[in-house]
Amino acid sequence: MSNIEQGHDVAKAPGDSGAIVISIDAMGGDRGPEAIVDGLALAAKESPSLRFILHGPEGILAPLLAARGLTERCDIHHAEGVVTMHDKPSAVMRNGKGTSMWSAIESVRAKEAEVAVSCGNTGALMAVSMIRLRKLPGVNRPAIASFWPSRNPTGWNVMLDMGADVKAEAADLLTYGLMGTSYARNALGLTRPRVGLLNVGTEEHKGHAELKAAYDMMTKAQDAGQFEFIGFVEGNDLPSNRVDVIVTDGFTGNIALKTGEGTAKLVSELLREALTASPLAKLGALLAMGPLKRMKARVDPRRANGGVFLGLNGTVVKSHGSADATGVAAAIELAARLARSGFSAKLAARVASASVSGQDAPQGEETSEKVS
């Protein structure tokens, strides 16, 4: 890694002067660094107090920043290497040191930035985050949390794990519930989120043994953990107003996420075909365009862009690999929101308090003032 950290002192550490610094991996997205710098420009315009550290080849990034008038608000950490979508996580762990992804995580580890954002290879990003940031005390398996469009007042549910680990024991599921609670409080502003365990039925006797054990643990932990445990939920509850945080293992979560995406894509493709099927239908689509556009925006996956890695010493936002400028900006804005709320520290305190106090400790009410 040959970081030429020019202008590095310009970027303030969080809390240093109140300026929030976001670390951004400029490479590894499907659309190249232009889309990422365009997204950065959108987010920078939206939030004038944000500062950025951009990681990647300086010769490429400096002109892109200059052209958008962003030179003053961004540091560049030079990194030649790029992690591709085909690189195996294990190989990146061994040889990834000179890459923009590694460098982006390094800025969080060194506390130069509060949160890192990357559009790159999910498995590699999780692997690098794990070895550089390390797991939080009390966390056995970190998780990826995503937003899910729903009938909730905020328009979103939180679901985790979306694929950090294909397995989860009962204790991991409880930790996911606590981390999801903290995330829903800080990202969605919910005081006492409703947490549900994803299962194949809502009756207590259904599902795997780990799910039944997690059911009991969550029932006991809900008061200390400041969430409302609503029991088992099913796949069709995911977009509902019954639940705010949906807990599942990474295998099931990843398949549910992609199934939902695939279904929404099929329906929207069929809708587009229907609305261009005849001149009359085209005219109809034109007349209904306003509400149709608002509907499209409502479920636009770009608005929900950003899976968040939870359970590490530092927060990492994983943007979709194919994110365009709008998507990248949404991921950066999510990162900024989490940074402003001091999310990393709050999450750490919540997980630590649960593992210290036990899952049914009465002193839960006392800690409620401190963590979120």
CB-CB contact of 25 with 9 (8 Å):
no
Among residues 52 and 147, whose Cβ is nearest to its own copies? Answer: 147
Taking CB under 8 A as the rule, which mask of x and - marks residues 323-342 in contact with its own copies?
A: --------------------
Task: Give me the residues paired with residue 115 across strands.
Answer: 22, 315
Contacts of 334 (CB under 8 A, 6+ apart): 187, 305, 306, 308, 317
Could you give the angle at the alpha carbon of 154 between the alpha carbons of 341 and 233, nearest 5°?
105
Is 254 one of the binding residues for its own copies (CB under 8 A)?
yes
Please tell me the distance from the alpha carbon of residue 352 to that of residue 199, in angstroms, as a whole number: 27
Is 298 one of the binding residues for its own copies (CB under 8 A)?
yes
Minimum CB separation of residue 2 from its own copies in Å reads 31
Please tell me the distance from the alpha carbon of residue 311 to that of residue 138, in angstroms, as a whole number: 9
**Residue in 17, 48, 191, 290 binding its own copies, rule: CB under 8 A:** 290
Among residues 108 and 130, whose Cβ is nearest to its own copies? Answer: 130
- Residues that contact its own copies, how many (by CB under 8 A): 62
**Residue in 204, 258, 356, 370 binding its own copies, rule: CB under 8 A:** 258
Among residues 25 and 249, whose Cβ is nearest to its own copies? Answer: 249
**Residue in 29, 96, 120, 149 binding its own copies, rule: CB under 8 A:** 149
Among residues 110 and 255, whose Cβ is nearest to its own copies? Answer: 255
Q: Which stretch binds its own copies (CB under 8 A): 10-18, 19-27, 32-40, 163-171?
A: 163-171
Minimum CB separation of residue 147 from its own copies in Å reads 14
The dihedral through the CA atoms of 250, 252, 255, 260 has a sign that is: negative
Is 252 one of the binding residues for its own copies (CB under 8 A)?
yes
Could you give the angle at the alpha carbon of 355 between the alpha carbons of 354 and 361, nearest 5°?
55
Q: Which stretch binds its own copies (CB under 8 A): 75-83, 129-137, 160-168, 335-343?
A: 160-168
Does 161 sit behind a cis peptide bond, omega within 30 degrees of 0 on the bond before it? yes
Is 144 one of the binding residues for its own copies (CB under 8 A)?
no
Please tell me the distance from the alpha carbon of residue 154 to that of residue 140, in angstroms, as a whole number: 30
Q: Amino acid letter at 265? A: K
Minimum CB separation of residue 260 from its own copies in Å reads 4
Q: What is the dihedral of CA 62, 67, 71, 72, to 10 degrees?
A: 170
Q: Amino acid letter at 99? A: T
Burial class (CB in 10 A: 0-12, 13-18, 19+), 326: middle
Minimum CB separation of residue 308 from its own copies in Å reads 18
Minimum CB separation of residue 200 from its own copies in Å reads 4
Distance of CA 359 to the CA centre of its chain: 26
> In Å, how far are 40, 64, 138, 196, 257 from 176, measured between CA atoms?
30, 39, 11, 11, 17
Minimum CB separation of residue 168 from its own copies in Å reads 12
Among residues 146 and 372, whose Cβ is nearest to its own copies? Answer: 146
Among residues 205 and 369, whose Cβ is nearest to its own copies? Answer: 205
Q: What number of CA atoms fall less than 13 Å from residue 114's CA on the CB side?
A: 27
Taking CB under 8 A as the rule, which mask of x and - marks residues 12-51 in contact with its own copies?
A: ----------------------------------------
Please tell me the distance from the alpha carbon of residue 115 to that of residue 86, in angstroms, as a whole number: 25
Footprint on residues 85-124 left by its own copies (CB under 8 A): 88
Among residues 111 and 208, whose Cβ is nearest to its own copies? Answer: 208
Question: Which stretches of the chain bind its own copies, using CB under 8 A?
Answer: 88, 149-151, 163, 166-167, 198, 200, 205-208, 234-240, 248, 250-252, 254-268, 270-271, 273-275, 277-278, 280-281, 283-292, 294-295, 298-299
